[in-house]
Structure 1
Amino acid sequence: MANSRKRGFSKGALGTSLREAGLGYAHLRSLGTPKSGRQAARAGDAALMRRIYCEEVLDTAAGLAALDELAALAEGAPICLLCFERDPAGCHRRVLAERLAPRGFVVSDLFG
């Protein structure tokens, strides 16, 4: 189960809220950042987070399959990648965006 440190953003609450608003929701757990990667991100070490994320997630068979699943979702409609990390430069979303770009996807970072 995906728990969030931000109220209302845990998997269940977020999914319910989005469905009530008429939006789809898919939790791709296999594309999450491992604990060691989250610790590196919190410590401000984006390079270490990126290395951990690529080695332990994206450069595995399961990670590649999950990236294909994400790409399939994005082929049908715009999607939004969410993470606790505000700055995409230090987040796994940037790595995902970089992996999706050669497949023809355009990524925009949104800030409040």
Structure 2
Amino acid sequence: MAAQFEEGRIVKELSTIGYEGAALEDFLETLKLFKVDVLLDVRELPISRRKGFSKKALSEALAEVGISYQHERCLGSPKVMRHELRESWDYERFFLQFNDHLKEQHGKIEELAEELRGHIALLCFERNHTQCHRTPVAEKFSEATGIKPRHIGVQDRAQRQRYKNQSSNSRKSLSTA
């Protein structure tokens, strides 16, 4: 665990992202914009009705843009919990149950924190990270790496251009200071 806190830490950035309502092209461009190195899929089942977001197709699309893909089923929310949430809409209960499940995965999170490199983004479906199990997964990664997670949303072309312009302007103002 100490390796992450040294100067040359392994995991350099930690983000989460959901693909709900997103086009694959916008999703990939957003990952590139934020310079993601590894997409860690934390869905229990890496399948989707949304074109391009099932494991094989997504893995291939990511490889084409230079981003690694890894799926970790054990970090997904178990089917029974998802079913109960759809029936009750009780997010407080869901997150209590999921956090109990996540305690059993502590060793896996520590292992991933040691082996993953660069900017890691945790993937699940929900656009709103506060209603998704990837947030507590990110919190556990944060404990293991000392890096605070950032939740990024898929951006369309216009949003990406605004982000690039803002980033460029902030760099210019820093260089003139």
Q: Flag the structure with higher helix content.
A: 1
Q: Could you tell me which of 132, 135, 140 is aligned with 1:94?
A: 135
Q: Which amino acid is 1:25 matched to?
A: Y
Q: Partner residue of 2:124?
A: 83
Q: Which amino acid is 2:54 matched to?
A: S
Q: Which amino acid is 1:22 matched to?
A: G
Q: Could you tell me which of 61, 64, 67 is aligned with 2:109?
A: 67
How does 1:4-43 map onto structure 2 within 5 Å?
A: 4-42=48-86, 43=88
Q: CA deviation at 1:52?
A: 2.0
Q: Which amino acid is 2:90 matched to?
A: D
Separation in 2, partners of 1:82, 1:25: 10
How does 1:40-59 map onto structure 2 within 5 Å?
A: 40-42=84-86, 43-56=88-101, 58-59=102-103
Unaligned runs of 5+ in 2: 1-44, 155-177
Change (3 A) 1:39 1:30: same
Task: Give SS of 2:113's match.
Answer: helix
Q: CA deviation at 1:109?
A: 0.6
Deviation readout 1:41-62 (Å, 9 max, x if unpaired): 4453221221221223x121xx
Change (3 A) 1:16 1:70: same
The structure having more radius of gyration, on CA atoms, is 2
RMSD after superposition: 1.9
Separation in 1, partners of 2:134, 2:115: 15
Q: Which amino acid is 1:71 matched to?
A: A
Task: Give SS of 1:81's match.
Answer: strand
Separation in 2, partners of 1:5, 1:51: 28
Q: CA deviation at 1:106?
A: 1.8
Give the TM-score of the pair, scaled to structure 1: 0.82
Contact 1:2 1:10 (8 Å CA) reproduced = yes
Contact 2:81 2:94 (8 Å CA) reproduced = yes
Deviation readout 1:65-94 (Å, 9 max, x if unpaired): 2212332345x2011111111111111111
Separation in 2, partners of 1:4, 1:82: 12
Unaligned runs of 5+ in 1: none
